[in-house]
């Protein structure tokens, strides 16, 4: 689906990949509605849109509140008439600890935001998308959704749930007007750690030299290219592509490789 003249709803548009997606879609001639819990972040996104900000609408919304999400659909239809694309991008990570040390509060929070938030948005807006001549539903999983990462086991489980849920939707909607994509970002330079309320085990010096990351703008360009080419799987970054291949060829080796990289980061 070509972005130009289409209306997209993007979750998590107040920062990171979400913000970059808003700006990338605007650059391609789309109208964008974006939501986030961070009102200041949404205002900054609007300002960054510069001369295109008349095509941006921002709303503060908690995607984990099912009733609020359902009411939001009526608001969007009343104010914007329709949407053609939904990008479920919002997500958080867990504290960098082993599962034995992870609290149930943290477990519930990660699953609620990453899976149920995506589910509420999908269930609420899918009937509307099905009325459009052409539509696109995009769910952002993670490289951690197909390869295990010690210290992020619960995060990986939530993103694996997003992966399989989305792939199931692809099959269910194959004969409809709604295209479906699942996105697997690799390491990307965002503030997801801070936004998740998590302390990073990587120092700034380590982050700049030892861990190569993709810029959010690069990630957004890859994702929107994938949408416009109707790709069902969108791998973002060379690390995501490489680990997908490696994990398929040799799961044990891939798992051990990631575990070795994470070992120094876990107490």
Asked if residue 177 belongs to a domain, the reply is yes
Asked if residue 40 belongs to a domain, the reply is yes
Q: What are phi and psi of 212, to 5 degrees?
A: -80, 125
Give the percent of the chain with pLDDT over 70.
93
The closest alpha carbon to 59, from 82, 83, 32, 86, belongs to: 32
Q: Are 187 and 239 in contact (CB under 8 A)?
A: yes
Asked if residue 104 belongs to a domain, the reply is yes
Q: What are phi and psi of 116, to 5 degrees?
A: -70, -35
CATH code of the domain in which 258 resides: 3.40.50.720
Asked if residue 2 belongs to a domain, the reply is no
- Number of domains forming the structure of the chain: 1
Active-site entry in 104, 116, 120, 155: 155
Asked if residue 1 belongs to a domain, the reply is no
Asked if residue 67 belongs to a domain, the reply is yes
- Give how far the C-alpha of residue 262 lies from the chain's centroid of Cα atoms, to the nearest Å: 23
What is the per-residue pLDDT for 211?
Answer: 57
Domain that holds residue 116: 7-263
Active site residue 253: no
Asked if residue 198 belongs to a domain, the reply is yes
Asked if residue 132 belongs to a domain, the reply is yes
What is the per-residue pLDDT for 206?
Answer: 44
pTM: 0.93
189-216 pLDDT, tens digit each: 877 766 767 666 654 434 444 557 899 9
What is the per-residue pLDDT for 202?
Answer: 58
Is the pLDDT reported for residue 164 higher than 80? yes
178 class by beta-carbon count within 10 Å (0-12 exposed, 13-18 middle, 19+ buried): buried
What is the per-residue pLDDT for 262?
Answer: 85
34-90 pLDDT, tens digit each: 999 999 999 999 999 999 999 999 999 999 999 999 999 999 999 999 999 999 999
For residues 206 and 223, give the distance between their C-alpha atoms in angstroms, rounded to a whole number. Answer: 27
């Amino acid at each position: 689906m070509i972005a130009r003249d289409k209306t997209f709803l993007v979750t998590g548009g107040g920062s990171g990949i979400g913000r970059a997606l808003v700006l990338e879609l605007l650059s391609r001639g789309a109208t964008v509605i974006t939501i986030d819990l961070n009102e200041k972040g949404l205002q900054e996104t609007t300002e960054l849109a510069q001369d295109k900000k008349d095509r941006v609408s921002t709303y503060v919304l908690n995607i984990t509140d099912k009733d609020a999400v359902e009411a939001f659909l009526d608001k969007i239809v009343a104010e914007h008439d329709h949407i053609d694309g939904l990008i479920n991008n919002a997500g958080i990570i867990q504290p960098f600890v082993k599962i034995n040390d992870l609290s149930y509060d943290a477990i519930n929070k990660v699953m609620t935001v990453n899976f149920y938030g995506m589910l509420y948005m999908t269930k609420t807006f899918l009937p509307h998308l099905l009325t459009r001549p052409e539509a696109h539903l995009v769910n952002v999983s993670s490289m951690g959704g197909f390869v295990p990462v010690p210290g992020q086991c619960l995060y990986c489980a939530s993103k694996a749930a997003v992966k399989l849920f989305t792939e199931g939707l692809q099959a269910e909607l194959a004969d409809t007007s709604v295209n479906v994509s699942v996105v697997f970002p690799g390491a990307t330079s965002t503030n997801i750690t801070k936004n998740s309320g998590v302390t990073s085990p990587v120092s700034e010096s380590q982050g700049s030299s030892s861990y190569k990351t993709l810029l959010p703008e690069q990630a957004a360009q890859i994702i929107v290219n994938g949408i416009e080419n109707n790709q069902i799987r969108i791998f973002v970054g060379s690390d995501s592509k490489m680990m997908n291949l490696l994990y398929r060829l040799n799961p044990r080796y891939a798992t051990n490789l990631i575990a070795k990289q994470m070992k120094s980061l876990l107490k």
